[in-house]
Structure formats: structure tokens, C-alpha cells
């Protein structure tokens, strides 16, 4: 129970890595604030997490004895974010952990000069700007507490380039830069800021993940063959499991690494060392 007594805010919690991390936080004793937009966005060419999926994540966490607050929040809107954090403080009185996970894989799949301004904007706004907005809303409370752990889910796309994913790579590189800069801002104030860079994460049915299949679709790789295709780039010959990322997040959130800040942890089966 590494997180017993702690309150964790998790964005993008309806499914995928957000759900996997929320469940592991609950298993380790944390109470939870689960945030997701719970609706589709016109510029994003696939279905986003739904209200029913977010409610199911909450149900699973409650079954693990976590107290749960659910907030359907568009992270492009600072007013909605501030409302969610005000609800959190009214309910729990503190925030110990912020897990910035919300993100999109597409619109992608075009050479840089063919990317529309609208598609560039939505990618940067969700994958990068929302991390800053959440940090802005939560950080001031952590500073007053004199403690806190902010964990940003970046990507191997924040470490290397990917053809036809210029917006995604730019956003994830930005998340890593933001992580390091904010870590320096908050280091004297005892608030830690770290990032996790997942590699190719398997789309587990248990958490209803679909990010890898969406990336495959953008790359015009058959969904029936996409796992084998991604495996070819993995030195360990295994895809990353959602649980791998959740375990890393629990460690970063816990007091086991209370003097660790500004670090970028890769969980990618060795992909980024090539």
C-alpha cells in the first residue's frame, strides 16, 4: 500500500493507460479523482473515452476501496480544469499526486507541410498545453502543502522522431522539456516532477486501450498484423504492457523516490536505445 492516505488526480482515466494507472493507484491505497473529456472531438478521427467507460473505471476503483470523484472535463478549457480542482479540494482537502496522461495519437499521418493548422493546434493543445494547464491548477496547492508528485506521460516520441507524426513528436518533446523546467521550479518547494516515456503499449482489452491500433491505422498497418509489426522494432521482442507503465507510475508517486525529480524514465523494451 505504497500510496495509502494519498489523493491522486488522473487525466485520461476513462480507458487505456489512464485506467490501468488509476487501478494500480487504488490497489496501493490512494483515493482518486478521475478526469476525462468523455466525448468526441471533431478534429480527432477516432472515438475518445466515453462517460460509461469513465464510470466503469470509477466502479473498478471503488471495488478496491478507493474513494472516487469523477469529473468530465475538457482539458483545453482552463475554466473547466479549475472547476474540477476546486471540487477535488472541497472533497479531499489536498492533492498528493497529479498524473497527466490524457492525450491523442491522431490527427497524424501526414508530411509536416500537409498538416493543417487546426490539426496541429488540437494535437499541441491536448498533448502539451493540457499538461501545463493541469500543472498550473494543481501545482499551487502542492506548493502550499510542501509536498507532491507530478507525473507526466510522455512517449518515446518525446525522445526520437517519427515520420509523419510531427505534431505528436513536437508535443511529447515539449512534455519532456516542461517536466524538466517545472522540476527545477518546484525542487526547492519539495514538489517532484518526473516523466514516463512508454514505448509500444499493447492494447489490453481489460483497460480498453486502443492507442497502438490507432497508430497502426495512421501508418496504414493492418490491425490484424499491427502487434507483429511493432514487435519487429522491440529489442526485447515484447510489447510493453499497461501494467508496466502503472507500476512505474506508482513508484514515482510513492515516497520510495522522494528525492527523484526531473527524471525521464523509458519503459519501451529497449526501443529508444538503438
Residues 245/247/251/254 CA torsion (nearest 10 deg): 110
157 pLDDT above the threshold of 80: yes
Average pLDDT estimate for 64-92: 98
What does the buried/exposed string (b/e) look like for 235-259 if buried means 16 or more CB atoms within 10 Å of the residue's CB? eeeebbebbbbbbbbbbbbbeeeee
200 pLDDT above the threshold of 80: yes
Is 168 designated active site? yes
Q: 102-106, 107-111, 195-199, 219-223: which has the minimum mean pLDDT? A: 219-223
**pLDDT for the residue 35:** 98
264: its cell numbers: 525521464
pLDDT band at 28 (very low <50, low <70, confident <90, very high): very high
**pLDDT for the residue 38:** 96
| Choice among 46, 56, 162, 168 that is catalytic | 168
Residues 131-153 pLDDT 10s: 999 999 999 999 999 999 999 99
Rounded CA-CA distance 186/188 in Å is 6
Spell out the domains of the chain, with CATH numbers in brackets.
Answer: 7-273 (3.40.50.720)
Residues 62-76 pLDDT 10s: 999 999 999 999 999
**pLDDT for the residue 77:** 98
Computed over every residue of the chain, the mean pLDDT equals 95
Amino acid at each position: 500500500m505504497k500510496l495509502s492516505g494519498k489523493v491522486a488526480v488522473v487525466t485520461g482515466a476513462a480507458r487505456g493507460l489512464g485506467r490501468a494507472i488509476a487501478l494500480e493507484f487504488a490497489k496501493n491505497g490512494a483515493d482518486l479523482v478521475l478526469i476525462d473529456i468523455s466525448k468526441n472531438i471533431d478534429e480527432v478521427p477516432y472515438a475518445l473515452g466515453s462517460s460509461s467507460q469513465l464510470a466503469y473505471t470509477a466502479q473498478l476503483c471503488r471495488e478496491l476501496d478507493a474513494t472516487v470523484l469523477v469529473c468530465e472535463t475538457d482539458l483545453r478549457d482552463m475554466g473547466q480544469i479549475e472547476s474540477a480542482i476546486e471540487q477535488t479540494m472541497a472533497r479531499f482537502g489536498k492533492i498528493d499526486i497529479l498524473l497527466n496522461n490524457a492525450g491523442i495519437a491522431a490527427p497524424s499521418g501526414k508530411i509536416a507541410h500537409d498538416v493543417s493548422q487546426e490539426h496541429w493546434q488540437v494535437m499541441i493543445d491536448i498533448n502539451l498545453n493540457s499538461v501545463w494547464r493541469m500543472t498550473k491548477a494543481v501545482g499551487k496547492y502542492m506548493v502550499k502543502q510542501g509536498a507532491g508528485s507530478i507525473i507526466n506521460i510522455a512517449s518515446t516520441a518525446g525522445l526520437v522522431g517519427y515520420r509523419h507524426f510531427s505534431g505528436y513528436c513536437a508535443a511529447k518533446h515539449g512534455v519532456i522539456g516542461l517536466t524538466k523546467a517545472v522540476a527545477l521550479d518546484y525542487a526547492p518547494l519539495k514538489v517532484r516532477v518526473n516523466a514516463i516515456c512508454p514505448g509500444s503499449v499493447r492494447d489490453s482489452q481489460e483497460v480498453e486501450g486502443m492507442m497502438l491500433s490507432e497508430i497502426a491505422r495512421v501508418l496504414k498497418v493492418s490491425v490484424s498484423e499491427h502487434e507483429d509489426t511493432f514487435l519487429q522494432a522491440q529489442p526485447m521482442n515484447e510489447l510493453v504492457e499497461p501494467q508496466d507503465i502503472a507500476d512505474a507510475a506508482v513508484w514515482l508517486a510513492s515516497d520510495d523516490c522522494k528525492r527523484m525529480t526531473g527524471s525521464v524514465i523509458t519503459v519501451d523494451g529497449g526501443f529508444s536505445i538503438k
